[in-house]
Chain A
Amino acid sequence: MSEVRYTDQHEWIRLEGDEATIGITKFAAESLGDVVFVELPASGKAVVAGGEAAVVESVKAASDIYAPAGGTVTIANSMLEAAPSKVNEDPEGEGWFFKIKLSNKDEFTKLMDAVAYAKFVGSL
């Protein structure tokens, strides 16, 4: 059973056991427009909550993806390198960016849940 949380920078994080999958929300993917390139972290890389972990680019914009919680990168979604359009097609599924081994579950728990995030997006 997995739990999903969201950040105010429009990343989502889904926790399964002590491994978390991270991507950008549907809202973020739509605002970015057609994604043309992603830069992913190497596995083994340590990330801290709020730190830069990946980059996503559309034709006219480049955005940093921040790690919603700290940990060590276990794997990145290398499929995105060949098919960045997956981020637009299925941002909260096949378009995931990378997985981390979570170092502090509290960082996860204090993020927004789906209801809070929906409310946050509605307020923008």
Chain B
Amino acid sequence: MSMNNQGRPSGSGEAFPASIATISGDRGLDHEEGLIFELGHGATGVDLPDVQISDARLGGARRKDAIGLPGLSEPEVIRHYVRLSRKNYAIDSGLYPLGSCTMKHNPRLNEKIARLPGFGDLHPLAPQSTTQGALQVISQLMNWLTTLTGMPAVAMSPKAGAHGELCGLLAIRAAIAARGETRPRILVPESAHGTNPATAAFAGFTVDEVPAKPNGRVDAEALKAKLGPDVAAIMLTNPNTCGLFEGEIVDIAKAVHEAGAYFYCDGANFNAIAGKVRPGDLGIDAMHINLHKTFSTPHGGGGPGSGPVVLSERLAAYAPIPLLVAGENGLRLIEDAADAPYGAKPFGRMCAFHGQMGMFTRALTYMLSHGRDGVRQASEDAVLSANYILASLKDVMSAPFGDGPCMHEALFDDSFLEGTGVTTLDFAKAMIDEGYHPMTMYFPLVVHGAMLIEPTESESKYSLDRFIHVLHTLATEARAKQTARFAGAPHLAPRRRLDETAAARKPVLRWRPNPLKAAAE
């Protein structure tokens, strides 16, 4: 017989010891990647004509020094950013249980629609006769938002949730000034998201904290006791940051209004009740809606967001410019306060142009896809999934308010880790090795070592069961003091824990050329 010595060995080979360094420094699909500035070598990724110009019309302002940008060709730039992308966790690749952040599925139809030239390539100051389709998108989205919230008006220009909070408080400030009053104080529950007190200060108010009750709700009695003629508003998140519905909300709203103050609701958690409960029915005066949370616009690694603010009858007149009105020749943007229709008293302007149109098209596409029935089902599934996680884990993890149902997120504290030597941080980082993004940690502040899990409506039961199995096992091991996998976790991510102390003590916030290398060149 003839031996085929071209054949390749078919065995699986020996295990590659993790301790062995590779020659390249890369490990399989995980590539080490330098900064774009270190990779540049004078190539270019665009082909543009080399036009020479005179100084005649530059007012003597021509740049004298080089900028210092690196030069790379297109394939190099693409490889660089593709390699970087592979170091990121994403919803598309796994369950992303960040409480209060709502990492739900981002439909790709939304992306396609936002990029249609009629939307993506439309100038904000093009003649309004040539932008009627865009104005109709805004108008339709306004209708969805006011209908879903049961509120009469909405300001569309705020660029993100926190910007929406500012818009709401400035409307409140204007309404109070119009009454000839000065009310410097804003009440904020201690469980509030940090943007609430920050926004109140940003809008020129002082902040007065309201304590929480042992059941995770705001102390309504303490809140009422703090009301007075100097209180402008309360800022309450509902469902709140503990994932619980503030059942006394109608009563609170009544007391707030009787005291002459306004009720700002942080709508960050509207995704739990959309299509089922209308904030307008609860006595709310202003509420921002994070389109990236409830209506699925992508988080994009931290933005851009969009935060339209719905307003009650009491505040509607103070909405900022631009305003959208219907006229004989279709829709029209009012871009100057002096042109506002009768009765409108805009408090000012939140940003140049008309808000996050790219997010509006995505959100409206999502709403039309889901329909009112789908929006309601999404809220119900989000709440169902969170309760399923709560019910499945509360025997091994400690749920501080676990006696009743939660809304769209399940909150645990670190008492189940007491005496184990494992911290909330260790526990969360161990999840990374298991292929999961950690839950929100140490927030809300009212719970010790908080772990806030929000599965959203986008996970299948299979995915939830797998996640529950992993967390259940981790919790069981931690409680049994089998702590090996927790110490120093993660071990299997592109990076181990990073030295945040060093980063903050000696901040390095930009690349600089190596002075020795530069001198040698």
- Judged by CB atoms under 8 Å, the answer to whether A and B touch is yes
Q: A interface vs B, CB < 8 Å?
A: 34, 36-37, 57-60, 84-85
- The CA-CA distance from A60 to B501 in the complex, in Å, is 10
| 11 A–B contacts from the bound complex (CB under 8 Å) | A34-B501, A36-B501, A36-B505, A37-B504, A58-B501, A59-B500, A59-B501, A59-B504, A60-B442, A84-B505, A85-B505
- The CA-CA distance from A57 to B504 in the complex, in Å, is 10
Residues of B within 8 A of A60 (CB): 442
Residues of B within 8 A of A85 (CB): 505
Residues of B within 8 A of A57 (CB): 504
- The CA-CA distance from A59 to B504 in the complex, in Å, is 7
**A13 shortest CB reach to chain B, Å:** 27
- The CA-CA distance from A37 to B505 in the complex, in Å, is 7
Residues of A within 8 A of B505 (CB): 34, 36-37, 84-85
**B169 shortest CB reach to chain A, Å:** 23
Interface SS majority for chain A: loop
- The CA-CA distance from A85 to B506 in the complex, in Å, is 12
Query: 12 more A-B contacts (CB under 8 A) besides A57-B504, A60-B442, A85-B505?
Result: A34-B501, A34-B505, A36-B501, A36-B504, A36-B505, A37-B504, A37-B505, A58-B501, A59-B500, A59-B501, A59-B504, A84-B505
**B445 shortest CB reach to chain A, Å:** 11
Interface string of B488-519 (1 = CB under 8 A from A): 00000000000011001100000000000000
- The CA-CA distance from A84 to B501 in the complex, in Å, is 11
Interface string of B343-361 (1 = CB under 8 A from A): 0000000000000000000
Residues of B within 8 A of A58 (CB): 501
- The CA-CA distance from A104 to B505 in the complex, in Å, is 36
**B339 shortest CB reach to chain A, Å:** 45
Residues of A within 8 A of B501 (CB): 34, 36, 58-59
Q: Which 10 A-B residue pairings sit nearest by Cβ, starting from the closest?
A: A36-B504, A34-B501, A59-B500, A36-B505, A59-B504, A59-B501, A36-B501, A84-B505, A37-B504, A85-B505
Residue of B nearest to A36 (CB): B504
Residues of B within 8 A of A59 (CB): 500-501, 504
Residue of B nearest to A34 (CB): B501
- The CA-CA distance from A110 to B101 in the complex, in Å, is 48
Residues of B within 8 A of A36 (CB): 501, 504-505
Residue of A nearest to B501 (CB): A34
Residues of A within 8 A of B500 (CB): 59
- The CA-CA distance from A58 to B503 in the complex, in Å, is 11
Interface string of B429-444 (1 = CB under 8 A from A): 0000000000000100
- The CA-CA distance from A50 to B423 in the complex, in Å, is 34
- The CA-CA distance from A32 to B504 in the complex, in Å, is 14
Residue of A nearest to B505 (CB): A36
Residues of B within 8 A of A34 (CB): 501, 505
**B509 shortest CB reach to chain A, Å:** 14
**A57 shortest CB reach to chain B, Å:** 8
**A85 shortest CB reach to chain B, Å:** 7
**B57 shortest CB reach to chain A, Å:** 48
Residue of A nearest to B506 (CB): A36
- The CA-CA distance from A84 to B505 in the complex, in Å, is 8
- The CA-CA distance from A36 to B504 in the complex, in Å, is 6
**B506 shortest CB reach to chain A, Å:** 9
Residue of B nearest to A59 (CB): B500
Residue of B nearest to A84 (CB): B505
Residues of A within 8 A of B442 (CB): 60
- The CA-CA distance from A85 to B499 in the complex, in Å, is 14
Residues of A within 8 A of B504 (CB): 36-37, 57, 59
Interface string of B466-507 (1 = CB under 8 A from A): 000000000000000000000000000000000011001100
Residue of B nearest to A33 (CB): B501
- The CA-CA distance from A60 to B500 in the complex, in Å, is 9
Of the listed residues A34, A37, A60, A85, the one surrounded by the most CB atoms of chain B closer than 10 A to its CB is A34
Residues of B within 8 A of A37 (CB): 504-505
**B500 shortest CB reach to chain A, Å:** 5
- The CA-CA distance from A87 to B501 in the complex, in Å, is 14
Residues of B within 8 A of A84 (CB): 505
- The CA-CA distance from A57 to B500 in the complex, in Å, is 13
**A38 shortest CB reach to chain B, Å:** 11
- The CA-CA distance from A58 to B504 in the complex, in Å, is 8
Interface string of B407-438 (1 = CB under 8 A from A): 00000000000000000000000000000000
**B201 shortest CB reach to chain A, Å:** 14
- The CA-CA distance from A36 to B501 in the complex, in Å, is 6
**B3 shortest CB reach to chain A, Å:** 64
Which residues of chain B from 451 to 475 have a CB within 8 Å of any chain A CB?
none
- The CA-CA distance from A87 to B388 in the complex, in Å, is 46
**B508 shortest CB reach to chain A, Å:** 13
- The CA-CA distance from A122 to B147 in the complex, in Å, is 56
**A107 shortest CB reach to chain B, Å:** 26
**B507 shortest CB reach to chain A, Å:** 9
**B459 shortest CB reach to chain A, Å:** 29
**B505 shortest CB reach to chain A, Å:** 5
- The CA-CA distance from A36 to B506 in the complex, in Å, is 8
**A80 shortest CB reach to chain B, Å:** 11
Residue of A nearest to B442 (CB): A60
Interface string of B381-397 (1 = CB under 8 A from A): 00000000000000000
- The CA-CA distance from A59 to B442 in the complex, in Å, is 14
- The CA-CA distance from A85 to B501 in the complex, in Å, is 10
- The CA-CA distance from A84 to B442 in the complex, in Å, is 25
**A78 shortest CB reach to chain B, Å:** 16
- The CA-CA distance from A45 to B20 in the complex, in Å, is 59
**B194 shortest CB reach to chain A, Å:** 12
**B388 shortest CB reach to chain A, Å:** 31
Residue of B nearest to A88 (CB): B501
**A86 shortest CB reach to chain B, Å:** 12
Of the listed residues B442, B500, B501, the one surrounded by the most CB atoms of chain A closer than 10 A to its CB is B501
